[in-house]
Amino acid sequence: MLGLDMYNADMKQLSTMYFSVVLFILLSFIPFQALHAELLDPLANGDFEQAGETAQSAYGWQAYGSNYRRVSQPHSGAWSVRLQTDSFSAQAGAYQRLDLTQTEPKPVFIGAYVKGQRIENSPGGYFGASLYVEVHLKDGQVVYWNSVGNFGTFPWRWIGFNTGTVTTINQPIDHIFVIPILASAIGTAWFDDVTVTEFDPTQSAVTLMFDDGELSTLTEAKPILDDFGIVGSAAIVTDNLGESGFMNLADLKELVARGWEIVSHGLTHSDLTTMSERRMKRELQRSKQILEGYGFTIRNFALPFGAYNAAILSEGAKLYNSMRAYELGDNPQGAFPYDIKVRSVVNTTTLAEVNEWLAKAAAEKRWDVLVFHSISETGDDAYYVSPDRLRGIVQIIADSGIPVVTYNTGLQLFSVK
């Protein structure tokens, strides 16, 4: 049980990949009533309001590594737990075992609020203040995972992930250990309002999203989608509006009039992780302000190059319902809105691949977000799809019977609240 050393040895590469590192909408035609069942939270005392044997301990929570302390510095209610470390080799946390005894695989969301003070990362460390879990599958396998690591000094922020996004969790879950943790770092962290929610999904969906605001979204993609009576979502780089090869304001208004969603893709399409905090905040804030100034409703952000860290997600959460990266996969019921996966459609993507994606979405009741860039016969890199190939993909989607929704509608239907 609680094999952090094994996790450090075997999962470092997987975690690094994880962190390098989701109107007219035809709702009257979409049978989304009772899309899913949200099961009761099996976690005991996730808000730490109930004391344990002492006032400094919390009922239902055992100490993991260095002792945790129950303190009156809450996100909500009156209590939270505080974790402190003064050595990079130290681990501080609290854990609880949950017996889910699933008979079929079901997605489970694990979330919490965390606050930090002077949390310094160790060389090569990736834990920091995060939620760590050990997932014990029915067949005896154990899968280790943790949320994005949080560092520095910051106010309360929401963190989490869904077991359904972890590809190695592909069997029914017998039990899990949930661990708010501070590890491979020094400093102080507070955790509160830890939640575990199991979902029983009943329907799938697909979204077509076009990044960068290229003119081909209007001239090539829209006519094809129009032929099938469906709409898409367009991620717009505001500095490119009206530039050669890109859509202008009138073009965006034409999309919106048809029922498309407009998503912010930043001011300049620059990697936010390479910027100063001030410039990063400006990219997030000004791109939204500019698009809203033109009269568009902007609820979501597509991260340039898919690059992010915990600070970027936290800042974006103040402005957007979701910060979509470019991590590959599909999305379970109860997906964390700042951890939405995508299906990258490029010039080498085959119709057979799309068929496989949709078959999986239909069978496992998932949400596929298909992301396109240029719709053209040629391109400078792999990020283009010919109009004929796009038409073939849309035909497959139409034949599948899976409802097509805008990105924000997908979030409303599939992300954890």
Of the residues 182, 201, 220, the one at which a domain ends: 201
Q: Identify whether residues 274 and 334 lie together within a single domain.
A: yes
Q: What is the CATH number of the domain that holds 382?
A: 3.20.20.370
Query: What's the order of all strands across the beta sheet hosting 91-99?
Result: 62-65, 91-99, 173-183, 128-137, 142-146
Task: Quote the number of domains for the chain.
Answer: 2
Q: Identify whether residues 135 and 180 lie together within a single domain.
A: yes
Q: Identify whether residues 291 and 380 lie together within a single domain.
A: yes
Q: Identify whether residues 146 and 215 lie together within a single domain.
A: no
Cα–Cα distance for residue pair 38/169, rounded to 1 Å = 19
What DSSP state is assigned to residue 298?
-
- The domain of 377 spans 205-414
Establish if 26 belongs to a structural domain. no
Q: What is the CATH number of the domain that holds 85?
A: 2.60.120.260
- Could you give phi then psi for residue 256, rounded to 5 degrees? -60, -40
DSSP H helices, 183-339, are 216, 222-227, 249-258, 277-293, 310-317
Q: At 180, list the tokens.
A: 């708010």
Q: Identify whether residues 108 and 10 lie together within a single domain.
A: yes
Establish if 307 belongs to a structural domain. yes
Of the residues 184, 201, 218, the one at which a domain ends: 201
What's the pLDDT at 66? 85
Q: Identify whether residues 44 and 183 lie together within a single domain.
A: yes
Q: Which of 77, 67, 72 is nearest to 46 (CA)?
A: 77
Q: Identify whether residues 173 and 276 lie together within a single domain.
A: no
pTM beyond 0.75: yes
Q: Identify whether residues 246 and 391 lie together within a single domain.
A: yes
Establish if 29 belongs to a structural domain. no
Sign, Cα dihedral of 338, 339, 343, 345: positive
What's the pLDDT at 37? 61
Strands 322-324 and 300-302: parallel
Q: Which amino acid is at 163?
A: T
Q: Identify whether residues 45 and 106 lie together within a single domain.
A: yes
What's the pLDDT at 2? 64
Q: At 202, list the tokens.
A: 């009943």
Residue whose token pair is 């209590």: 79
Establish if 27 belongs to a structural domain. no
Q: Identify whether residues 194 and 290 lie together within a single domain.
A: no
What's the pLDDT at 4? 59
What's the pLDDT at 10? 40
Identify whether the C-beta of residue 130 lies closer than 8 Å to the C-beta of residue 149: yes
Identify whether the C-beta of residue 105 lies closer than 8 Å to the C-beta of residue 128: no
Q: Which of 289, 316, 311 is nearest to 300 (CA)?
A: 316
Grouped pLDDT means (10 residues each) for the chain, 417 residues: 51 34 30 51 94 95 93 98 96 97 96 98 95 98 97 98 96 97 98 97 96 98 98 98 98 98 98 97 98 98 97 97 97 97 98 98 97 96 97 98 98 94
Of the residues 155, 179, 201, the one at which a domain ends: 201
What's the pLDDT at 6? 43
Q: Identify whether residues 229 and 311 lie together within a single domain.
A: yes
Establish if 28 belongs to a structural domain. no
The residues, any chain, with a CB within 8 Å of residue 243's CB and separated by 6 or more, are none
What's the pLDDT at 195? 97
Q: Identify whether residues 175 and 301 lie together within a single domain.
A: no
